[in-house]
Every structure is written in C-alpha cells, then in structure tokens.
C-alpha cells in the first residue's frame, strides 16, 4: 500500500497559507462564518475540480467516501 503523500496534498502544498489568509482577512471572508471556513470551502472546490464533480451531491458523496476510506484504513 502507498504510504506517501496523496496527490491532493502534494498540490495543496504549493498554496501559500500566508497569502491565502491575507486575502481572507483583507476581504473579511470568514465574517460570521459558523463552521465552513473559507479554507474548507476552497479545498472542497479544488477537490471537486480535480475529480470532475459537477453537482453538490457529487461533491458531498466523493468527500464522504474519501473520509470513510481514510478512517477505515487507520
């Protein structure tokens, strides 16, 4: 079984968290956010783009299945 970083995490390592947080703070992106932060939304949308998801139901099913697989593998 592969034990290295997943492709998604390798791609996200190029994202400068400092620059991302600076943009979120500049435009008050997390104003009145309760649970789903700008970072979470960004990561979900990138994941949806990479996996060619078109509908919210597709995105939810795909994200939940990867979470389930990760939990089951541990």
Q: Report DSSP state, residue 13.
A: T
Contact residues for 20 (Cβ-Cβ < 8 A; gap 6+)? 38, 39, 42
- Mean pLDDT per block of 10 residues along the chain (74 residues) reads 74 90 94 88 87 84 74 62
Domain positions in the chain are 7-73
Q: What is the pLDDT of residue 73?
A: 59
Q: What is the pLDDT of residue 35?
A: 86
pLDDT exceeding 70 applies to what percent of the chain?
86
Q: What is the pLDDT of residue 69?
A: 66
């Amino acid at each position: 079984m592969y034990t290295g970083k997943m492709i998604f995490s390798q791609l996200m390592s190029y994202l400068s968290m400092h620059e991302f947080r600076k943009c979120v703070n500049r435009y008050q992106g997390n104003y009145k956010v309760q649970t789903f932060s700008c970072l979470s939304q960004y990561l979900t949308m990138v994941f949806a783009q990479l996996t060619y998801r078109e509908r919210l139901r597709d995105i939810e099913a795909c994200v939940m299945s990867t979470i389930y697989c990760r939990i089951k593998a541990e």
